[in-house]
Structure 1
Amino acid sequence: MKPALVTGACGFSGGHMVKILADAGIPVRGTDLARAFESQKVRTTQDNICIDWDADGVDFVPSDLSDKQSLKKVLKGVGVVYHTASLYDYSAPMSALEKINFEGTINLCEAMVEEGIDRMVHWSTAGVYGHPYMPQSSSNPLRALFELLWGHGVRPWLKDKEYKRPSAHPTNQPFTEEGSTPLNTPGPQPRDTFLVNDYSITKWKQEQIIQRFGREQGLRWTIIRPAPLYGPGSDYGIGGIVIALSEGLMPILPLDLKNYLMVNCHVRDIGRAAYFLAQREDAVFEDFNVSDPTVISQLEFLKISALLVGRKIHLIPFLRMPMLQPFGIWSSRYLRWLDGKFPGFQRLRIWEESSARYLSSSYWISSGKLQRLGFEWEYPDFKLGLRATVEWFIKMGWIK
Structure 2
Amino acid sequence: MARMRILLTGATGFLGKHLSKRLEHSGVRDVHCAVRKSGSCAVGREFVIGELGATTKFADALEGVELVVHVAARSHVMKDEASDPLAEYRRVNVEGTLNLARQAAAEGVRRFIFISSIKVNGELSEEGRPFSPGDVPAPEDDYGVSKWEAEQGLRAIAGETGMEFVIIRPPLVYGPGVKGNFASMVKLVQKGVPLPLGAIQNKRSLVGVDNLVDLIVACMDHPAAANQTFMVSDGHDLSTPELLRRLGRAAGMPARLLPVPAGLLMFGATVLGKRAVAQRVLGSLQADISLTRALLGWEPPVSVEEGLGRCFTSENRF
- Return the TM-score normalized by structure 2: 0.87
Question: What is the rounded CA distance, in whole Å, between the counterparts of 1:332 and 1:15 in structure 2?
Answer: 35
Which letter maps to 1:209? G
Deviation at 1:237, TM superposition (A): 3.9
Deviation at 1:316, TM superposition (A): 2.9
Contact 1:22 1:28 in 2 (8 A): no
Equivalent of 1:324, from 265, 277, 287?
A: 265
Q: Counterparts of 2:159 and 2:298 in 1: how far apart (Å)?
A: 27
Q: Is the 8 A contact 2:250 2:305 kept in 1?
A: no
3-state DSSP of counterpart to 1:215: helix
- Higher helix share goes to which structure? 1
CA distance in 2, matches of 1:273, 1:397: 24
What is the distance in 1 between the residues matched to 2:124 and 2:62? 40
- Which residue matches 1:253? 196
Which string of whole-angstrom CA distances, capped at 9 and with x for unpartnered residues, describes residues 94-150 of structure 1?
2321211111112111221232224101101111111348xxxxxxxxxxxxxxxxx
Q: Which moved more, 1:239-248 or 1:26-35?
A: 239-248
Indicate the residue corresponding to 2:72 in structure 1.
85
Give the alignment partner of residue 116 of structure 2, picking from 124, 127, 148.
Answer: 124
Matched, 1:287 2:241: no
Q: Offset of 1:223 from its aligned partner? A: 0.5
Tell me the distance in 2 between the aligned counterparts of 1:327 and 1:62.
47
- Structure 1 unaligned blocks of 5 or more: 44-51, 134-169, 182-189, 334-352
After superposition, residues 49-198 of structure 1 pair within 5 angstroms as 52-53=42-43, 58-63=44-49, 64-66=51-53, 68-91=55-78, 92=80, 93-132=85-124, 170-181=126-137, 190=138, 195-198=139-142
Please say if residues 12 and 35 of structure 2, whose CA atoms lie closer than 8 Å, have aligned partners that are also in contact.
yes
8 Å Cα contact 1:9-1:18 kept in structure 2: yes
Distance change >3 Å, CA 326–CA 67, structure 1 → 2: same
Tell me what 2:6 maps to. Answer: 4
The residue aligned with 2:37 is 34
2: CA distance between counterparts of 1:60 and 1:222?
A: 24
Q: 2:286 corresponds to which residue? A: 364
Amino acid at match of 1:180: V
Q: Which residue number corresponds to residue 185 of structure 1?
A: none
Please say if residues 54 and 95 of structure 2, whose CA atoms lie closer than 8 Å, have aligned partners that are also in contact.
no
CA distance in 1, matches of 2:21, 2:95: 28
Whether 2:25 is the aligned partner of 1:23: answer: yes
Paired residue secondary structure (1:25):
coil
Amino acid at match of 2:35: D
Residues 101 and 112 in structure 2, CA contact (< 8 A), matched pair in contact too: no
CA shift at 1:2, angstroms?
4.2
Deviation at 1:211, TM superposition (A): 1.0
User: Aligned partner of 1:389: which letter?
Assistant: C
Query: The residue matched to 2:74 in structure 1 has which SS?
Result: coil
TM-score normalized by the length of structure 1:
0.70
Is the CA contact 2:173–2:208 (under 8 Å) kept in the aligned structure 1? yes
Identical aligned pairs, as a percentage?
A: 23
- The alpha carbon displacement at 1:73 in A equals 2.3
Change (3 A) 1:395 1:354: farther
Deviation at 1:220, TM superposition (A): 1.0
Aligned to 1:160: none
CA distance in 1, matches of 2:316, 2:101: 37
User: Offset of 1:332 from its aligned partner?
Assistant: 6.3
SS at structure 2 position matched to 1:377: coil
Task: Supply the distance in 1 between the matched residues of 2:189 and 2:117 (Cα, whole angstroms).
Answer: 25
Q: 1:396 to 1:69 in 2, by over 3 A?
A: closer
Aligned partner of 2:312 in structure 1 is 390
Query: Residue in 2 aligned with 1:211?
Result: 155
Unaligned runs of 5+ in 2: none
Partner of residue 13, structure 1: 15
- What is the CA–CA distance in structure 2 between the aligned matches of 1:242 and 1:174, rounded to whole Å? 26
Instruction: Give, in angstroms, the shift of residue 331 of structure 1.
Output: 4.2
> Partners in 1 of 2:250 and 2:124 — Cα distance?
31
- Give how far 1:273 is off: 0.8
SS at match of 1:13: helix
Q: 1-side partners of 2:58 and 2:273: how far apart?
A: 37
Superposed displacement of residue 356, structure 1: 2.3
Say which of 199, 205, 228 aligns to 1:263: 205
Size of the alignment, in residue pairs?
A: 307
Does the Cα contact within 8 Å between 1:196 and 1:357 map onto a contact in 2?
A: no
